Structure 1
Amino acid sequence: MTETAAGKRRIASLKAAPNSPDVADIGRSLPSFIFTNNICICKLMSTKNLQMQLSRWAISMNRLVSACNSCNKTGSKRLYRLTNSLPYLLNRVGVRMGELFSRRIARYEITLPMYRVMAALWQQGDQRLGDLAAMTSLELSTASRLIGALKRKGLVSRKRLEDNARTVAINLTTKGKLLVEELIPIAIHFEEVAIRSLPKDGLANLKSVLAQIYTDLGTIEPEIAEAETRQGKARR
């Protein structure tokens, strides 16, 4: 078999593989320079040069097919983007709001966590430390330290309930109540600025959704407990 005949067979085999799993309809995908006026280019160039050209073309096609396969695999999955995830966006808003509000109330010598504790007590008095910590999403030890700091400022009081001497009730003092009532309008203003682009009923809907999200996240607790149990057993 001559080199020219081998070259012809090489091209013929490529054109005869339209259903190849690697390249779809490869015959139609051949570069236009392979044929000139329906005359196979193998008649116009040496077999060696033809084979080199075909080899380069095959490598390029393999790269293209590999890229397409990778794209198809990725496209079948939901792409994760940190900056578009709900936890990231919620935290971003919370951090921004907290930073601005902290700066605004700094002249009152009150921190944001202190304000939250005071606002919680203004909303509901006679609270136990554990309930107050849960309401403000604080660790029990952190809530205890905050109550101590607020008590030293004369903003809260602690007293044992008459009907249950073992329970200590926490309340705002008169001074604390006056201060928090001065701070609450500032907090309301911040909220109004934050949601002013929402539709009329947008705030109510947003708050309802956030409350539901918080409730739904509780279903993850059993998963975490199970994982922690398995991890504990693996360490033994």
Structure 2
Amino acid sequence: MYRLTNSFPYLLNRVGVRMGELFSRRISSFGVTLPMYRVMAALWENGDQRLSDLATITTTEISTLSRLVGEMKRKGLVTRSRLADNGRTVAINLTSKGRLLVEDLMPIAVHFEDVAVRDFSESEISHLKVVFRKIYESLGSIEPEIEAAKASPKSKRKISPPRPRSKPRAKE
């Protein structure tokens, strides 16, 4: 029988939310948020990121990310500049202030990961990361189903609240 509290998406989300909340609280004294950290960490790995690529890496909607990058620019953490080979494309990079900040925050992120997986062997951790990547890739196959459901007249129908279950009859 299906149980929400034992379902894979629920358990995965629960871990992610818990870790995100704790990490957010830990880095708040640095004047940054978790989404800001993710942007800075992604830019630290690979600079000259287009907004759309950064959105994919950080799993942030472009409109949200655009506002976030604007705020980070005002704080002096990132720059926006036109790419030399494509004047229509804006590249986002860390400033020296942003680079120093993310380098201060990375050991905290590493500590959180170490604590989260401390009861696992190196091979188990490596395997978990491979599994998570595979799961992420597998979920891409659901996109066509979602598009098909949007086009189907059934998907436009409102879902009625469940009917109350009748109580089982007492055996006579």
TM-score normalized with structure 2 length: 0.88
Q: Distance in 2 between matches of 1:98 and 1:215?
A: 22
Does 2:91 correspond to 1:169? Answer: yes
Q: Which residue of 2 aligns with 1:151?
A: 73
1:233 positional shift: 9.3
Question: Aligned partner of 1:149: which letter?
Answer: E
User: CA RMSD of the aligned region, Å?
Assistant: 1.4
**How much has 1:232 moved relative to structure 2?**
8.3
Structure 1: distance between partners of 2:36 and 2:77:
10
Which whole-Å CA distance do the structure 2 matches of 1:231 and 1:211 have between them? 34
- 1 CA distance for matches of 2:146 and 2:2? 22
Aligned mate of 1:89, from 7, 11, 21: 11
State how 1:68-217 maps to structure 2 within 5 Å: 79-217=1-139
What SS does structure 1 have at the residue aligned with 2:103?
Answer: helix
Helix, strand or coil: the match of 1:159?
strand
Which residue is equivalent to 1:15?
none
Distance 2:156 2:91 in 1: 44
> Quick one: which amino acid aligns to residue 45 of structure 2?
Q
The Cα shift of 1:163 comes to 1.6
In structure 2, runs of 5+ residues without a counterpart are 158-172
The TM-score, its normalising length taken from structure 1, stands at 0.65
CA distance change for structure 1 residues 178 and 82 in 2, over 3 Å: closer, same or farther? same
Structure 2: distance between partners of 1:80 and 1:215: 24
Instruction: Give distance in 1, aligned partners of 2:33 and 2:148.
Output: 37
Deviation at 1:162, TM superposition (A): 1.4
- Matched letter for residue 194 of structure 1: A
Q: Give the paired residue count.
A: 157
The CA distance in 2 between the partners of 1:112 and 1:127, in whole Å, is 19
Q: CA 1:233/1:109 → structure 2, altered by over 3 Å: closer, same or farther?
A: closer
Measured in 1, the distance between the counterparts of 2:136 and 2:72 equals 29
Q: Secondary structure at the match of 1:80?
A: coil
The equivalent of 1:35 in structure 2 is none
Larger Cα-atom Rg:
1
In structure 2, C-alpha distance between the alignment counterparts of 1:232 and 1:205, rounded to whole Å: 40
- Higher RCO by CA contacts (8 Å cutoff, separation 6 or greater): 2
- Unaligned 5+ residue runs, structure 1? 1-78
Indicate how the Cα distance of structure 1 residues 171 and 232 shifts in structure 2: closer, same or farther if over 3 A, else same: farther
Matched residue, 2:149: 227
